[in-house]
Chains A and B, each alone.
Chain A
Amino acid sequence: MKKTHIALLLLIVVAIAGISAKFLDFSTYETFSSAEKAPDKQFYVIGFLDKAKAVNYDAKTDPNKFTFFAKDKAGNEKQVVFIKGAPPRDLEKSEQLVMKGHVQGDQFICSGIQMKCPSKYKNDQTIGEKI
Chain B
Amino acid sequence: MTNTFEGEHLLPGQIGYLFIVTAFVASLFSCFSYFRAVKTETADPSESKSWLGLGRWSFGIHTFSIIGIFAALFYVIANHLFEYHYAWSHSSLDLPGKYLLSCFWEGQEGSFMLWIFWQALIGVVIMKTAKTLETRTMTIIALVQAVLCTMILGIYIGNDIKIGSTPFVLLRHMMQGAPIFSVPNYLDFVKDGNGLNVSLQNYWMVIHPPVLFLGFALTIVPFALSLAALWRGDYKEFVKPTIAWTLVAGAVLGTGIMMGGKWAYESLNFGGYWAWDPVENASLVPWLTLIGGLHTILVFRSTKRALPITFVFLIFTYLLVWYSTFLTRTGILGKTSVHAFTGDGQALYYHLLVVIAGFLALSLGLLMYRWKTMPRIKEEEATLSREFWMFIGAAVLFIAGIAIIWDTSLPVWAPLVKMISGKEMAPPVDVIKHYNDIHVWIAIIIGFLSGLTMYMKYKDTTPKKLWTNAAIAAGLAAIMAMGIGYSQRITTWQYSFMLFSTCFAIVGSLHYGIAVQKLKFKNLGPVTAHFGFGAVLLGILLSSYNKHPISYNTTGEILNFGKGNAEAEMKENRENVILFFGIPVAVGDYAATYIGDSAVEGKDKRVYYKVRFEKYDSASQKVTESFMLYPDAFINPKGNQMGLSANPDTKHYMSHDIYTFINQATDKSKSDTSSYRTYIMHKKGDTAFLPAGFMVFNGFDKDIKDPRYKPGDSDIAVAANLTIFDKQGKQHSAKPLYIFKNREYVAHIEDTIKEMNVFARLDNIVVKSQDSAYAELKVRQTDPKDDFIVLKALVFPFINVLWIGVIIVVFGFFISLAKLMGGKAKPELELE
Contacts and interface: CB of A to CB of B under 8 A. Distances in A.
A92 interface: yes
B702 interface: no
Contacts of B381: 3-4
B380 A7 contact: no
Contact of A64 (B402, B574, B788): B574
B380 A83 contact: no
A124 B343 CA distance: 11
Interface of A: 2-4, 7-8, 11-12, 15, 18-19, 22, 25-29, 40, 42-44, 57, 59-65, 81, 83-93, 98, 100, 104, 109, 111, 114, 116, 120-126, 129-131
B663 A63 contact: yes
B423 interface: yes
Interface in B657-684: 663-664
Contact of B335 (A19, A25, A62, A98): A98
B559 A15 contact: no
B78 interface: no
A100 B381 CA distance: 51
Contacts of A104: 559-560
A74 to B, nearest CB: 13
Given A4-B391, A86-B663, A130-B277, 18 more contacts: A2-B380, A3-B380, A4-B381, A12-B399, A15-B403, A19-B403, A19-B438, A25-B428, A27-B428, A59-B578, A60-B785, A61-B555, A64-B574, A85-B792, A93-B641, A123-B339, A130-B431, A130-B432
B713 interface: no
Contact of A22 (B437, B555, B560): B437
B125 interface: no
A26 B553 contact: no
Contacts of B64: none
Given A26-B428, A64-B556, A122-B197, A11 B277 contact: no
A27 B788 contact: no
A85 B576 contact: yes
Given A19-B438, A27-B428, A83-B559, A121 B342 contact: yes
A124 B336 CA distance: 10
Interface string B330-343: 00001110111111
A88 B410 CA distance: 26
B423 A62 contact: no
19 contacts: A3-B383, A18-B403, A19-B403, A19-B438, A25-B429, A25-B434, A25-B437, A26-B410, A62-B557, A64-B573, A64-B575, A85-B790, A86-B643, A86-B663, A91-B642, A120-B343, A123-B338, A131-B338, A131-B431
Interface in B355-369: none
B643 A89 contact: yes
A84 to B, nearest CB: 7
B403 A124 contact: no
List the 6 shortest-distance A-B pairs measured between CB atoms, nearest first.
A62-B556, A89-B643, A86-B664, A25-B428, A83-B573, A29-B424
Interface in B574-630: 574-578
Nearest to A29: B424
Nearest to B399: A15
A123 B645 CA distance: 13
Given A27-B426, A42-B429, A64 B576 contact: yes
Contact of B663 (A25, A81, A85): A85
A63 B556 contact: yes
Given A63-B664, A86-B643, A22 B399 contact: no
B407 to A, nearest CB: 8
Q: How many of chain B's residues touch chain A, expressed as a range?
A: 35 or more
Interface in B633-664: 637, 641-645, 663-664
B821 interface: no
Contact of A59 (B383, B407, B645, B788): B788
A125 B339 CA distance: 7
B642 A90 contact: yes
A109 B785 CA distance: 28
Nearest to A40: B562
Contact of B395 (A3, A7, A22, A43): A7
B437 A63 contact: no
Contacts of B430: 25, 129
Contacts of A64: 553, 556, 573-576
A16 to B, nearest CB: 9
Tell which of B339, B341, B433, B561 has the most Cβ of chain A within 10 Å: B561
B299 to A, nearest CB: 11
B773 interface: no
Contacts of A116: 334-335
Contact of B426 (A2, A18, A28, A60): A28
A131 B336 contact: yes
Contacts of A25: 428-430, 433-434, 437
A4 to B, nearest CB: 6
A40 B562 CA distance: 8
B739 to A, nearest CB: 40
A109 B573 CA distance: 10
Contacts of A125: 338
A60 B334 contact: no
Contact of B399 (A11, A61, A62): A11
B304 to A, nearest CB: 14
B275 interface: yes
B90 to A, nearest CB: 8
Given A40-B562, A92-B642, A11 B338 contact: no
